[in-house]
Structure 1
Amino acid sequence: KRSVEDHFDTAYELENELEQAGKTELLKIARSISPDDMVCSYVRQPRALGLGHAVLCAEQLVGNEAFAVLLADDLMVGQPSITAQMAEQFAVHQASILAVQDVPLDQTNRYGIVSGTALNDQLTQLTGIVEKPAPANAPSTLAVAGRYVLTPRIFEELRITPKGAGGEIQLTDAIAQLLRKEQVLAYRYQGTRYDCGSKLGFLQATVDLGQHHPQVGAEFSAWLAQRHA
C-alpha cells in the first residue's frame, strides 16, 4: 500500500540529481507524476471487507459531493478518458453512472450485471443489478466495468447494506438499493478495457500499449512482427 503513496510523492533527491545532470526531459517526466496543482489524500481500508466497505472508508474525504471510483485491476483506455466521458454524462444527468460493456453470456458469472431501459445507444436507466449471476439467471449481458461516478447518497446505502458472501459489503448491493430511490444510469463507454487482474489481460495491455508508445512503439511492433515471422 505504501508504494502507491511513494509513487505520487515528490522525489526531491531524484529531481535534484536530474537537474544537476542537465537531464531536463527525464526531470519533466519525474515532475509530471505529481504536478503542483494535484493534492493526494489517502485512506486505508483496515480490513478486507469488500469493495463497498472500501468506498465507505472514503466518506469523510468525499463529503457531500459526487465522486469517481476507479478499480485499478481494470485498465481502461479511451480518448477522452473513460472517467472524463462519464463526468461529462454526469454533468448533464446529475445521476450515478456505471461504466458497462457487453460480455458473452457464459461470462456473466464474472461481473455485476445490470438490467434496465435503454435511453439511447449509450445510456440505460437501471432497474436492477445483480452480482455475478449464473448465465441462466443473468438479466442481460451488460456488465459493469471498473469505473463508477456516484452521488454521495451511496454512503447512506452502504451503511445499511448487510454483509453478503464472505462477510463483505458489496457495492453492487448498495447500488441495487440506491436505484430504488434515485436515478442510476449505465454508460456504454467508448474505449478499451484490459482485465489486468488476470495474467492474460496484463500481458495484452502490455503489448497493446507498448505498440503505441511514442518513443519505442514502432521498434517494439517491428520486433513483435519479426518474432511471429
Structure 2
Amino acid sequence: MKKIRKAVFPVAGLGTRFLPATKALPKEMLTVVDKPVIQYVVNEAREAGIEHLIFVTGRNKSAIEDHFDVQVELYETLSRRGRTEILERLEAMQPEPGQVSYTRQQVPLGLGHAVWCARELVGDEPFALLLPDMIMQSETGCMKQMVELYEQTGGNILAVEECDPTETHKYGIVGRGKDAYTGFEITAMVEKPEPEDAPSNFYINGRYILQPEIFALLENQETGAGGEIQITDAMLRLHATQPFYAHIFTGNTFDCGSPEGFIKANLALALDSPQLKPHVLRFMRSFLNQE
C-alpha cells in the first residue's frame, strides 16, 4: 500500500459569492481570525503527513504563491525587532523548498477538470484532495483521520457527515454498507438526490483520498451537471472496479465559500482561542443586549 504523500488543492475558483471583496484578492486568502482560509486547509494536510502540496491555480491567484513563499525582507525586519514569536509562527507554516508545486487550470471546467490538471504532478500514486473552501474543526484533523482509515482498508476514502434527511438534495450523498474501522463501505454515490431517492443522509464534505486511476477516467469524462467535468461522475466509474470507503467526520465543518459559513468559521475559531474568547463573548453579549 502506497503512502499518501501528495495533496491537491483546487484554488482556481472565482469566488463570485464574495464579490467585490474577491475582485482582486483570491477567496482562499480571505482571513479567518488570524490566518487565510487556505492556511487552515494546508495545515490539515501537513498534519496528516502530506509531503508535497499541489495547487491548481487560475488567473489572479499569485497571492497564494506569495503567501507560501519566503519573504526575506519581512523575516529580517521581524528578527531585527525581536519579534521572535511571530517569526517562529511564520517559519513553522513555511513549506520546505520543493514541497510546493503549482499548475494552471486555464479554463474553469469544473472540479474534475481541476483535479485532472494535476495528473503529471501527482503521478502514479494515491493522493489527497482537499477543497480549499472547507475548514474542518476537530482535535485531530479530518485528513489525518482519513489516512488512518486508508491504512486499514486501502482503496478510496471519502469524508462524510450526516445532514438533515430533508436536505439531501443539496449534497452528494453516499450509500452505507458494512462498517469499516471509522466508517463504512460505500455502496452508492448520488449527486443531490431528492429525499425519497437518497440512499442515506451521509454527504461528502470536501475531503478525499483517491487512487491515480481516477486521472484516466477524468481524461475521457464527458461534461455533467452545469456543463462541467464532475469528479463524482469519475468516482462512480472508478467505484465499479475499486472499493470506496467513507470516514464519518464528527467535528465542525465550515463552508467558507459562502458568507454565512465564513462568518460562522470566524466566530467558532475565535471562541476556540483562549485569548480571543472572553473578548468575543463580551462583545456578543453587549451587542445582543442592545436589541
Measure, in 1, the Cα distance between the counterparts of 2:278 and 2:113: 44
Q: How far 1:121 moved relative to its partner? A: 7.5
- 1:1-229 correspondence runs (5 A): 1-36=61-96, 39-120=99-180, 122-229=182-289
Measure, in 2, the Cα distance between the counterparts of 1:105 and 1:130: 14
CA contact (8 A) 1:130 1:173 kept: no
Measure, in 1, the Cα distance between the counterparts of 2:100 and 2:178: 37
Q: How far 1:64 moved relative to its partner? A: 1.1
Measure, in 2, the Cα distance between the counterparts of 1:225 and 1:13: 42
Q: Secondary structure at the match of 1:42?
A: strand
CA contact (8 A) 2:138 2:252 kept: yes
Measure, in 1, the Cα distance between the counterparts of 2:139 and 2:182: 16
Runs of 4+ in 1 over 3 A off after TM superposition: 35-38
Q: How far 1:127 moved relative to its partner? A: 1.9
Q: How far 1:122 moved relative to its partner? A: 3.5
Measure, in 1, the Cα distance between the counterparts of 2:279 and 2:203: 36
Name stretches of at least 5 consecutive residues in structure 2 with no aligned partner.
Answer: 1-60
Question: CA RMSD for the aligned pairs?
Answer: 1.7
Tell me the TM-score normalized by structure 2.
0.74
CA contact (8 A) 1:18 1:24 kept: yes
Q: How far 1:208 moved relative to its partner? A: 0.7
Q: Tell me the residue number matched to 2:47.
A: none
Q: Which moved more, 1:74-83 or 1:102-111?
A: 102-111
Q: Deviations over 1:67-124 (max 9, x none)?
A: 1111112111122100000011111111110000111123212211111313158422
Measure, in 2, the Cα distance between the counterparts of 1:144 and 1:101: 7
Say how many residue pairs are matched.
229
Q: Which moved more, 1:37-46 or 1:48-57?
A: 37-46
Instruction: Give, as a single letter, the amino acid of the residue that structure 1 aligns with 2:257.
Output: G
CA contact (8 A) 1:96 1:149 kept: yes
Between the two proteins, what is the percent identity of the paired residues? 39
Q: How far 1:212 moved relative to its partner? A: 1.3
CA contact (8 A) 2:160 2:247 kept: yes
Measure, in 1, the Cα distance between the counterparts of 2:205 and 2:254: 10
Instruction: Give, as a single letter, the amino acid of the residue that structure 2 aligns with 1:103.
Output: C
| Structure 2 CA distance for partners of 1:35 and 1:218, relative to 1, 3 Å | farther
Q: Secondary structure at the match of 2:104?
A: coil
Name stretches of at least 5 consecutive residues in structure 1 with no aligned partner.
Answer: none
Instruction: Give, as a single letter, the amino acid of the residue that structure 2 aligns with 1:157.
Output: L
Tell me the TM-score normalized by structure 1.
0.93
Q: Which moved more, 1:53-62 or 1:34-43?
A: 34-43
Q: How far 1:209 moved relative to its partner? A: 0.3
